[in-house]
A and B are shown apart, each in its own frame.
Chain A
Amino acid sequence: MALTIKEQLSSPGGWLKFLVKYNTVFIFVLLVIFSAFISDVFFTSVNLSNLLKQVSGIGIISIGMLIVILTGGIDLSVGSLVALLAVIFALLINMVILPVAILLTIIIGFALGSVSGYLVAYQKMAPFVATLALMTVARGLAFIYSKGSPITFNTTGGLFMSDFANNATLGIPNIAIIFFLIVAITMVMLRYNVFGRLIIAIGSNEEASRLSGIKVNKYKFLVYAISGSLAAIAAIVVASRTNLGSPNMGMAWELDAIAAVVIGGASLNGGKGTAINTLMGVLILGLIGNILNLLNVPSYPQQVVKGAIIIFAVLLQRFENK
């Protein structure tokens, strides 16, 4: 009756299933080929590294969004958290030494995420409501702490960070490397670590999880705290790129993050989604913007195209559920 792993992998129809399963990868590849054909500039290293730098910030919060969505929740606060944490980072970097500034920013991110986590997990507040509240609070605080204008880095630590953020290693922008590392770690955690398994279990059936003796509240709390920490890393990255922290950063990024996760095939009901597919979702969204820019399409039509692509991608995923 039972089959070995090897036999399982060579099950009939393996190829077709493979195509459907990795449909986001194929959409991505198709877009790359398409872009290469219509623009000479696309495959230049300047353009590609710009593209990667642009998506890294949203990409990092998209990973946080993914793990929250996997539990069946949502985190609307991440865009505002990026703004608040970027301001905080800029303030800190001008006050304390760099490692302390980085560490403190991440700790504050964790703490801010914990607020949502506490409200959702222990006060049973709807994730949409709890994180919506935190979203406006964080944006407001960002304006208060920055007094409404950007805070520029003015220390050697700041110089170092902006150098780091705008340089590349082996041709890959440093901040993209950070993003990819986070994707890789998340991939491993979701697949091979109990943490990942349990948050997927909670997202697919919370009551069954509770009755299986899983500490549901603890994990629900943790995913929001992690999402907040990732927002802190994203804030450090985007602030360093521009050498400043501004309360206007991360505007509507939570929506782009949700879009990326959804394009990556995750279910908003929870329990379904992978890090690699979210990476693809981020890259697809970034690519669309990039191509349209290269084609000199103004920004308003760009939004229309983005929306259309989201619908198209989600419709395609229907085949997967067949």
Chain B
Amino acid sequence: MENSKQEYRLEVTGITKSFGVVSVLKGVNLKVKPGEIHALLGENGAGKSTLIKILSGVHEKDQGQVFLDGKEIQPKNTHEGQLLGINVVYQELSLVNDLSVAENIYLHTLGANKFWMNWKKITQQASELLDSLGFSIDVTSKVRDLSIVQKQVVEIAKALAEETKVLILDEPTTVFDPNDIKKLFTNLIRLKKEGVSIIYISHHLDEIFKIADTITVLRDGVDTGSVAVAETNTDAVIHLMIGRALEDLYPTRNIQIGDVPVLEVKNLSGKRGIVKDVSFSVKAGEVLGIAGLGGSGRTETGKLIFGADKKQSGTIILNGKEINTKSPVDAVGYQIGFVSEDRKEEGVFLPLSIRRNISVTNFDSISSKLGFINIESEYKNILGLIDKLNIKTPHSEIDVKNLSGGNQQKVALAKWLSIDSKVIIIDEPTRGVDVGAKIEIYNLINEVAKKGVAVIVISSDMPEIMGISDRILVMHEGTIYGELPKEKFSEENILRYAIAQPLNKNI
């Protein structure tokens, strides 16, 4: 590795990492030069976060080597990583709300050497650092009182407070407006000139092409090689990321939609006041999309129908008969299923096996009157579903916490597919799910619809909701602002309704 010492600041070879039975990284290589901005790309679940967590010392790698300036390193925790000069700006903010800005920036050095704090010095240094970044924030204010943008700036300043050889930024611009992004980029270029190696993770390809020198793409835990930004283009990069052209993401649908509505909702309002006077209907075999901005009442509408939120007024009619879903127990009794957007908290039982997860909704068909379970038919059912949904697992007794996001989502869906449902409400069907599993989930939704189930899909992912729905309702502040038939699907139209604007007539 002698000659690499000259050329590369950071060299990663053959890194592998598994969590339980799920291998996340399967041999990743990455080489970053001093003074280089290196973009790390990949779909959700490709292994980007795991890789940077290994570099910074959060996780320990299983195999492979990491060299910093030609010397092999194995940070055991983030403190060791920082001492080596590897600093990370995480996507999830890691600030302490009740401490001041200055304290947060120097948190890792607080009390490290001396017993007494030098408040004056810390305050002064912090404010100089923020000034040099081009942002003015009062360093004595509590982080709790900052805006999300300011918090992100503090997060970046915190990483730069240490002597930094490698700076890793994970989606740093999600909360920034164009002006802030410009400032950030100016700083990154300055750091680059100072010789700092920067690993930049982002889903915004335009940013990447503006600032990065080199791109490495991760797909399913392997790197698909590195390319110089100057020698590639957006389409080529997307192709590298998903391994296929974009068009085949959404399966073509050819489903006979029934004539009569399966589910009708009339003037539905929730007790919490988030959903107001919502009316719509879904037919057999139809996939109805509900779009809208965060907080527009999408999720709450689904939960109201399912009985998970309390109803204020309005009627729900299933197959022509009025039903009263006071609780999920009632809704399940009426054969209505609900897949929550919050998979880990509300969707699956992480510490339980796949079998125990899926069976939870299905005991009626596999147990006797006294509740004794016919284990043989349980296994038959579960193994069949694992096969059908292509859940990637060695066997049915693996705990769900050890599965990838996509496979966890399939388990959450399997709960409702294993019983006969008339209506299935799916909130964010593919959040945090990789591309391969996305396609499989879309196919499943189609298959369910084909059986004559009325499907309601709630999603904030616009290409997704347009790709899989037959009709889209757009919500705004708790009401349905507009309805889009298939021929009027476009991101612009959804957005216009979502912010309570009429459609543009020219389109």
Contact = CB atoms under 8 A, between A and B. Distances in A.
Interface stretch (A134-142, A168-176, A208-216, A243-251): A208-216
B346 A207 contact: yes
Nearest to B345: A207
B361 A213 contact: yes
Nearest to B308: A211
Contact of B306 (A194, A211, A272): A211
Interface in B332-353: 332-333, 338, 340, 345-352
Contact of B396 (A8, A195, A204, A272): A8
Contacts of B333: 213
A216 B356 CA distance: 16
A232 interface: no
B1 interface: no
A11 interface: yes
Secondary structure dominating the interface of A: helix
Interface in B157-174: none
A1 B349 contact: no
Interface string A190-216: 001111011011001101111111110
Interface stretch (B97-105, B118-126, B134-142, B367-375): B367-375
Contact of B372 (A8, A192, A208, A271): A192
A207 B338 CA distance: 13
A3 interface: yes
Nearest to A188: B372
B416 to A, nearest CB: 9
A205 B363 contact: no
Contacts of B394: 3, 11
B331 interface: yes
B328 interface: yes
Contacts of B350: 204-205
B503 interface: no
A40 interface: no
- Determine the interface band of chain A, counting residues with CB < 8 A from chain B: 20 to 34
Interface in B40-76: none
B390 interface: yes
Given A2-B395, A204-B352, A212 B345 contact: no
B397 interface: yes
B329 A197 contact: no
Nearest to A210: B328
A204 B344 CA distance: 11
Interface string B359-388: 111010001001111010001000110110
Contact of B329 (A7, A11, A213): A213
A33 interface: no
A194 B363 contact: yes
Contact of B351 (A3, A8, A195, A204): A204
A194 B359 CA distance: 10
B304 to A, nearest CB: 13
Contacts of B332: 212-213
B298 interface: no
B328 A213 contact: yes
B488 interface: no
Contacts of A215: 329
Interface of B: 306, 308, 327-329, 331-333, 338, 340, 345-352, 356, 359-361, 363, 367, 370-373, 375, 379, 383-384, 386-387, 390-397, 415
Q: Give me the 8 closest cross-chain CB pairs, A-B, nearest first.
A: A213-B332, A194-B371, A2-B383, A8-B395, A3-B395, A194-B363, A204-B349, A2-B387
23 contacts: A1-B392, A1-B393, A2-B386, A2-B387, A5-B379, A7-B395, A8-B396, A195-B371, A205-B346, A207-B346, A209-B360, A210-B327, A210-B328, A211-B308, A211-B340, A212-B332, A212-B360, A212-B361, A212-B415, A213-B329, A213-B333, A214-B360, A271-B352
